[in-house]
Structure 1
Amino acid sequence: MFRKMSYAFIVYITFVLVGNGSVLASEVNFTDELYSEAAILIDSKSGKVLYEKNSHQKMYPASITKIITGILAIEEGHLSEKVTVSQNAREVIGTRVYLLEGEEVTLKKLIQGLLISSGNDAGVAIAEHISGSEKAFASKMTKFVKETIGVENTNFTNPHGLFDEMHYTTAYDMAKISKYAMRNDTFRDIVSTKELRWIGEGWETTIYNHNRMLWNYEGATGIKNGFVRKSGYTLVTSVVQEDTELIAVTLNAPSSKHAYRDMHRLFDYGFENFETKLISKNEVFEDPFGGKYTLANDFYITTQKNDTLFLDVSIYGYLKVIGRHNQLVGIRVLKRVEDQFTKRNSLFLVSLDR
């Protein structure tokens, strides 16, 4: 089962790794059955793309825009501070939480109304509070996702997702944005909330999360759905099962039913075929001459079930993950923890499942 290399020792690992890059469409049996125009499925911990369809095509996001508005508000603002609702926020069209002009609401409550009940008025109030205007906040949104998160094909003109020709994103960008947002505990808590008692000056009710995946898919933890006529039905969802968290994005489905059907198929495919494994930063690796190394950070990799991997530690301080057909599927720079060399080669067994 071992493959020995001349310049390093091999560590045998009892789990599966998907090949480098995304899964080819031809390998996925439901490719032609998705109704959404664009879609993507990624491993949230490793960032691995497990499936994609037109994932870099520019699309209109509708209310999944609010994912960015929400995480930006959490990072830029103070959740307990009071926000005064403007006439502009009060009069915005579309889905609302019925804020009144002059009403004072905490920033956290506005974010809850934004992400749970998809309130466009909450989005405008947040934008004006943080940046003074919707336009200024939209510019901040675009700069934030490009410079902080690292996406390239996204541009925002408003905080809520109402249609604009210049308000666009891609399935790939939205997956990357959502992966970033879900690292924030406050964001995770809000988007996973199924229902919340809402007591405002103009509306007293119980609001229910618009993302129905929270009710109909095991392990769903968020995130956001959307719809405007020119965008079609859009949906972003995260699901955790055991140690694996996947994020899926579907854009421009012809109906809500089709969007949820596509989402179910993506997650069924993902969890039936893949799992996430951890190479811990606490592991100590040794090269052929006795040099000892560790990782600077935990290394998450996505594996296919029932496959074999090798870890190759080079004398130059690199950890290489070798998968099927001798394919390089991951690489990390190691840091040295001991400047001691021996002349003996070493070959030993390490299980990441212990």
Structure 2
Amino acid sequence: MLEEELFAILRLQATPKIGTIITKKLIQIIGSAEQIFREKKSSLLKIDGIGELLAQQIVSTKNLKKIEKEHSYVLENGVQYSYFLDENYPKNLQNCIDGPVIFFHDGQMNWQHQKIISIVGTRNITNYGRAFCNQLVQDLASYNPVIVSGFAYGADICAHKAAMDNNLQTIAVLAHGLDEIYPKTHKKYMHQVLANGGFISEFWHDEPPMRENFLKRNRIVAGMADATVIIESAVKGGSLVTADIANSYHRDVFALPGRVDDTYSKGCNNLIKTHQAHLLSSAEDIIQLLNWNKKEKAIVQQPQLFLNLEPEEQIIYDYLQTNGKQLLDVIALDCKIPVYKLSSVLIQMELKNVVKALPGKMFEV
């Protein structure tokens, strides 16, 4: 990535009121982050969803010194990063509409790994929860999954340690910059995590661990994985937020049941009772539901039945043929076609009986 584009991406990150979804929309419509800041305010106002306030925030030069400082830090220290349109961006996260535009990382990680599990839970993990977590990871080890968690007290660090004990790659998603460490007592695990995977964060290098960052971090924990496991949780807790996010991404959620009067089993029991999570009794539940025992089937190329497809129609058709039914926004991201244009193309494809629209802005061949 060119230095100018990186600077523009950081500038978008630092722009108030411009979140991940709007940032991606602007990049898709205008073509690049750098080009966004070359646009006149009047041009920005013509974009659907960009009002006076947002347009003014974009053209403002208020935070340039802060941005320049972070930009220099990234370049001078060789900080690794992944951009949502790059090949080295995790595929699972790329399919999340609110996945980070860019995140920074340290360590050696395989983003394209075929089996990724997030394990989260209460900070007050019990002996029951800890024993189950350790046994679960040990029983999954032969399938060589990546274990993702948040490096916090309790279930998080238990999951990371279990992964490292079984020589599995583990990824710690931080709620602060890579130069910070929280909790401090976990500093002793940093070297081992780096040797067995690494750390990722969407926050700038010196960002402290603020309360709201932990909730933002949870969507990456859920988005990175094929499935999320909740070890233990009270009726309310951050891990339940992670479960909710994972469900919104149409990912599988598993919860460890416990006695009805156990404080740190009530959250899991409720997830199971309300059908927001599968009951998890052993590693076999994950193996069976995620089809890890089945060999990958070779993709058989179907004969091309529609010889009159336009280039963009062919891209969309091939994408849906390979990936199955997908959300409109996910198709736009993966095919790199702006949503406003994609909607028009899909209508034409529907008229040709090439694709079918499903409820919830889903489409399939």
Query: Normalising by structure 1, what TM-score?
Result: 0.27
Query: Normalising by structure 2, what TM-score?
Result: 0.26
Higher strand share: 1
- Which entry has the higher C-alpha Rg, 1 or 2? 1
